[in-house]
């Protein structure tokens, strides 16, 4: 197998806040290969976005990487200078966000915003930029791009804005695309259209794609591999098939039971008891132990690691299913 484009190894991130140190990520590892869509799934606050922002080098200044490494196509992200990272972002690795309306500059035309990215990363003059922007808009199937190029974000629908975001992110043909809940805030039909677009473009361009979502069903539909995160830990990482066939981690299993699917009624959906543990202060080795009904004495022994339990299936649990 070729080397992964993005490899995160044993990454730990802390946030120093007034009320104490929040251990947002602890020893997380994951890989994303070219042509592969990897879903990162978990509840809000499980560390999905923090992992992505750290990989892009745009973590909030309050966040500190305490250990680990991130390799992006040969570049050591954590030791690279800000200048190098600036040139990498948007050209080699791009990111799209949730609520596209607020994620675009409200007082700049969408054409100019895409043009800013193109001009930053590619030598282009005024005329070629306009053509390149129109091309980018065509790529994301925006109707009438010659007219839309001069529109402001507030003149467009949410779905249109997300297409603009994607056009902007992909305008310089990056190798890695991180999509952070790209369909949150869009209606269901638009969600499907946007996800289809992301999948098609990833496959077409052989991009490495990281899809962050809390929607396991969506991840199942679009991803080749799924990484399940809980409270700053990666608890399970397997190909989508393996994971759905035989989830090994109790949390993954519970997540699946909590996800609505075709057959069955609303009553079949179970909620997961409890909430994420407070990430400040002392935490048990397995951060799910407080919510887990398989918890036993052995779960409290330290040094829980993410191990390969079968071919390509990684698990961090002492009492697996």
Partner 1 sequence: MDGNDKLKMILGRLLQAIPSIIGIVIVTFVLTRALPGDPAVYFAGPAADEKSIQEIRVSLGLDKSWPEQFWIYITDLATGNLGVSVSTGLPVAEELTRRLPASLELTFLALLFSLAVALPLGVAAATRPNTWVDQLCRVVVTAGVSLPVFFTGLFMVYLFYYILGVAPPPLGRLDIIFLSPPPITNFYTIDALLDGDFETFGAALAQLILPAITLGIFTLAPLARMTRAAMLQVLSSDFIRTARASGLRRSTVLYVYAFRNALLPILTTLGMVFSFMLGSNVLVEKVFAWPGIGSFAIEALIVSDYAAVQGFVLAMAILYVLLNLTIDIAYTLIDPRVGLDG
Terminal Cα-to-Cα distance of the chain (whole angstroms): 29
**Using CA atoms, how far apart are residues 96 and 76, in angstroms rounded to an integer?**
22
Query: Rounded to the nearest whole angstrom, what is the least distance from the CB of residue 269 to partner 1 in the complex?
Result: 31
Binding mask 213-252 for partner 1 (x = CB under 8 A): ----------------------------------------
The answer to whether the CB of 133 falls within 8 A of the CB of 114 is yes
Q: Which of 95, 176, 216, 228 binds partner 1 (CB under 8 A)?
A: 95
Tell me whether residue 89 or residue 248 sits nearer to partner 1 (CB atom). Answer: 89
Task: For tokens 């249109």, name the residue.
Answer: 160
Q: Which stretch binds partner 1 (CB under 8 A): 26-34, 112-120, 210-218, 303-311?
A: 112-120
Q: Is 17 an interacting residue with respect to partner 1 (CB under 8 A)?
A: no
Q: Is 86 an interacting residue with respect to partner 1 (CB under 8 A)?
A: yes
Query: Rounded to the nearest whole angstrom, what is the least distance from the CB of residue 298 to partner 1 in the complex?
Result: 42
Q: Is 102 an interacting residue with respect to partner 1 (CB under 8 A)?
A: yes
**Using CA atoms, how far apart are residues 273 and 311, in angstroms rounded to an integer?**
31
Nearest to 211 by CA among 256, 166, 265: 166
The answer to whether the CB of 36 falls within 8 A of the CB of 225 is yes
State phi, psi for 207 to the nearest 5 degrees. -85, 155
Q: How many helices (H) and strands (E) does the chain have?
A: 11, 12
Binding mask 280-319 for partner 1 (x = CB under 8 A): ----------------------------------------
Q: Is 162 an interacting residue with respect to partner 1 (CB under 8 A)?
A: no
The answer to whether the CB of 53 falls within 8 A of the CB of 60 is yes
Tell me whether residue 29 or residue 99 sits nearer to partner 1 (CB atom). Answer: 99
Q: Is 184 an interacting residue with respect to partner 1 (CB under 8 A)?
A: no
The answer to whether the CB of 48 falls within 8 A of the CB of 210 is no
Binding mask 139-158 for partner 1 (x = CB under 8 A): -------------x-x----
Residues in contact with partner 1, counted by CB under 8 A, come to a total of 29
Q: Which of 16, 17, 20, 58 binds partner 1 (CB under 8 A)?
A: 58
**Using CA atoms, how far apart are residues 239 and 225, in angstroms rounded to an integer?**
4
Residue 44 CA: distances (Å) to CA of 76, 134, 248: 28, 36, 22
Tell me whether residue 102 or residue 310 sits nearer to partner 1 (CB atom). Answer: 102
Query: Rounded to the nearest whole angstrom, what is the least distance from the CB of residue 244 to partner 1 in the complex?
Result: 31
**Using CA atoms, how far apart are residues 201 and 310, in angstroms rounded to an integer?**
31
Q: Which of 23, 33, 34, 121 binds partner 1 (CB under 8 A)?
A: 121
Nearest to 308 by CA among 226, 236, 214: 236
The answer to whether the CB of 48 falls within 8 A of the CB of 233 is no
Query: Rounded to the nearest whole angstrom, what is the least distance from the CB of residue 162 to partner 1 in the complex?
Result: 12
Q: Is 106 an interacting residue with respect to partner 1 (CB under 8 A)?
A: yes
Tell me whether residue 108 or residue 203 sits nearer to partner 1 (CB atom). Answer: 108
Residues that bind partner 1 (CB under 8 A): 56, 58, 85-91, 94-95, 97, 99, 102-108, 116-117, 120-121, 152, 154, 165, 168-169
């Amino acid at each position: 197998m070729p080397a992964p484009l993005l490899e995160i190894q044993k990454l730990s991130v802390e946030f120093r806040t007034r009320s104490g140190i929040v251990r947002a990520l602890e020893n997380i590892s994951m890989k994303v290969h070219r042509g592969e869509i990897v879903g990162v799934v978990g509840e809000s606050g499980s560390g999905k976005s923090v992992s992505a922002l750290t990989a892009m080098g745009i973590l909030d200044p309050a966040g500190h990487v305490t250990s680990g490494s991130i390799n992006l196509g040969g570049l050591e992200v954590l030791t690279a200078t800000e200048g190098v990272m600036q040139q990498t972002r948007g050209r080699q690795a791009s990111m799209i966000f949730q609520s596209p309306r607020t994620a675009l500059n409200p007082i700049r035309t969408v054409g100019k915003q895409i043009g800013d990215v193109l001009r930053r990363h590619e030598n282009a003059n005024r005329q070629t930029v306009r053509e390149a922007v129109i091309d980018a808009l065509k790529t994301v199937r925006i109707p009438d791009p010659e007219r839309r190029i001069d529109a402001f974000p507030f003149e467009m629908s949410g779905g249109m804005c997300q297409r603009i975001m994607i056009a902007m992110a992909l305008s310089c043909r990056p190798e890695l695309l991180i999509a952070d809940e790209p369909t949150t805030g869009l209606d269901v039909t638009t969600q499907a259209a946007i996800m289809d677009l992301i999948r098609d473009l990833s496959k077409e361009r052989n991009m490495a794609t990281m899809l962050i979502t809390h929607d396991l069903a969506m991840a199942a539909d679009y991803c080749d591999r799924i990484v399940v995160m809980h409270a700053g830990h990666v608890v399970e990482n397997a190909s989508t098939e393996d994971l759905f066939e035989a989830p090994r981690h109790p949390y993954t299993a519970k997540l699946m039971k909590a996800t609505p699917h075709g057959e069955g009624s609303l009553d079949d959906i179970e909620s997961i008891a409890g909430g994420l543990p407070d990430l400040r202060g002392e935490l048990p080795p397995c951060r799910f132990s407080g919510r887990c009904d398989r918890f036993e004495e052995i779960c409290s022994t330290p040094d829980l690691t993410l191990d390969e339990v079968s071919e390509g299936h990684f698990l961090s649990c002492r009492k697996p299913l």
